[in-house]
Every structure is written in structure tokens, then in C-alpha cells.
């Protein structure tokens, strides 16, 4: 199987996983406590398929509840939102961090579920272990400024920002570095500014002509 086929299969699996999350979210919003079978039916997939993506209905409920509170990029970047690339990325970080703080226990459980599946080797060529929610938000933040970045640098910037922004960074700051929430935010803000600045195309240096003015 060539690279394009592998990419197509991965994208299809990512869409199926997202369909399951959206189906669960719709049922939860209706006040239901849906079974895995009901979620699979709502998502138009089989029960067996649903189990390939989530180890239990509880894990699916947990992630769907988090999915509900996450805004779509279009909701985040409306008219009047920050104008600079750094400010827009900072808005993504602020928004996600507020959700992370309010749902820390649930996010830690979600990460634990994905790590357990990774240890069992379920992520090796199988269904994606996690839903990528950060990249669409970061891409939306940087979209108006595409001409300010070299394409390769922009691609790398999006990827490293996914490491800086998210619950894994929260765990590193809180558990490993023992930083307060305020100090963690300050470090992330510094890193975001530095990374965006480093990736932006710099104008050529202007040589100052020396000599007598005529």
C-alpha cells in the first residue's frame, strides 16, 4: 500500500471516529444516556466498528461530553476577534485552557484510555487513538496570514503548536514542572510568540548606503 492509500485510509478512520463522537454528542444533548449500539446506529456504523474506536461506552460518553463544549473554529474567529497571528493562536490556547481547567479529571481519564490502548498496540495501523481537535483551530487562527510564512515553516509551526497547546502540556507543566496555572500560561504565551516570530518570513535586511549625500 502506497503513502496516498495509507493517508486515505487513516483519514477515513478519523472521519468514522468523529462520526461516532458527533452521534454520541447529539444523543447526549437530547438528554439520553445512549448505549454503544444506539450510538453506532445513530452514526450509521456497526457495533463492532464502534468497539474498534472506543474501548467502552463510558469512554465514548466521556469524550463526547468534552467534544460538546469545544467551540468550532468558525465560532471562535468571528468579526472582532484578535487580528495578529500571535493573538489568534493565543486565543486558541486561552479557549482550550479554560476547557482543560474545567474538565481536568475527564481529560486525564481520556488520555489514560488512549495510552492503555497504545500499550496494547491498538494504534498501530488500527483506528486513531485520539481525535485531533487542535489542528483545525490552529489552522483557522493562522489562515489569514498564510502569505507571511514559508509553507514548510507554516506546516512545522502548526505541528509544534499542537504540542504546546493541549492537555498533555498541562500535565507536563503541572505534574512535572510543578508550575502554577499562571506561570504555565506565561510560558505558553512566550513560546507561542517565539514560535510564530521564528516561522514568519523576515524581510531582507536593508543596506544603509554610506557616503556623502548628493
CATH of 1-64, one of 1.10.760.10, 3.40.50.1980, 3.40.190.80, 1.10.10.60: 1.10.10.60
CB 192 within 8 A of CB 93: yes
The CA R_g of the chain, rounded to the nearest whole Å, is 21
Which grid cell is 144?
A: 489569514
CB 25 within 8 A of CB 68: yes
Query: Exposed (0-12), middle (13-18) or buried (19+): which is 49, by Cβ within 10 Å?
Result: middle
Output the pLDDT for position 201: 86
Q: Under the phi-then-psi rule, with left for phi > 0, alpha for psi from -120 to 50, and beta for the rest, what region is 136?
A: alpha
Cα–Cα distances in angstroms (integers) from residue 1 to residues 6, 8, 9, 43, 138, in the given order? 7, 11, 10, 28, 31
pTM above threshold 0.85: no
Which of the pair, 152 or 202, is modelled with greater confidence?
A: 152
CB 164 within 8 A of CB 195: yes
Which of the pair, 211 or 121, is modelled with greater confidence?
A: 121
User: ∠179-181-182 over CA atoms, to 5°?
Assistant: 100
Output the pLDDT for position 150: 92
What percent of the chain is predicted at pLDDT more than 90? 53
**Considering only 32-41, 47-56, 94-103, 185-194, which range has the smallest mean pLDDT?**
47-56
Instruction: Name the residue ranges covered by the structural domains of the chain.
Output: 1-64, 70-200
Amino acid at each position: 500500500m502506497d503513502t496516498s492509500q495509507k493517508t486515505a485510509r487513516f483519514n477515513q478512520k478519523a472521519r468514522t471516529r468523529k462520526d461516532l463522537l458527533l452521534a454520541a454528542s447529539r444523543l447526549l444533548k437530547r438528554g439520553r444516556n445512549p448505549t454503544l449500539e444506539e450510538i453506532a446506529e445513530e452514526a450509521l456504523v456497526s457495533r463492532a466498528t464502534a468497539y474498534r474506536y472506543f474501548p467502552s461506552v463510558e469512554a465514548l460518553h466521556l469524550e463526547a461530553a468534552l467534544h460538546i463544549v469545544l467551540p468550532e473554529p468558525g465560532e471562535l474567529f468571528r468579526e472582532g476577534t484578535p487580528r495578529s497571528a500571535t493573538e489568534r493562536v493565543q486565543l486558541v490556547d486561552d479557549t482550550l485552557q479554560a476547557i482543560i481547567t474545567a474538565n481536568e479529571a475527564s481529560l486525564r481519564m481520556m488520555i489514560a484510555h488512549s495510552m492503555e490502548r497504545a500499550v496494547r498496540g491498538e494504534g498501530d495501523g488500527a483506528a486513531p487513538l485520539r481525535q485531533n481537535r487542535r489542528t483545525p483551530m490552529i489552522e483557522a487562527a493562522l489562515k489569514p496570514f498564510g502569505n507571511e510564512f514559508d509553507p514548510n515553516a507554516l506546516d512545522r509551526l502548526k505541528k509544534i503548536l499542537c504540542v504546546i497547546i493541549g492537555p498533555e502540556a498541562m500535565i507536563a507543566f503541572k505534574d512535572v514542572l510543578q508550575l502554577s496555572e499562571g506561570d504555565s500560561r506565561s510560558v505558553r504565551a512566550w513560546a507561542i510568540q517565539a514560535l510564530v516570530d521564528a516561522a514568519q518570513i523576515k524581510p531582507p535586511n536593508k543596506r544603509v548606503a554610506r557616503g556623502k549625500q548628493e
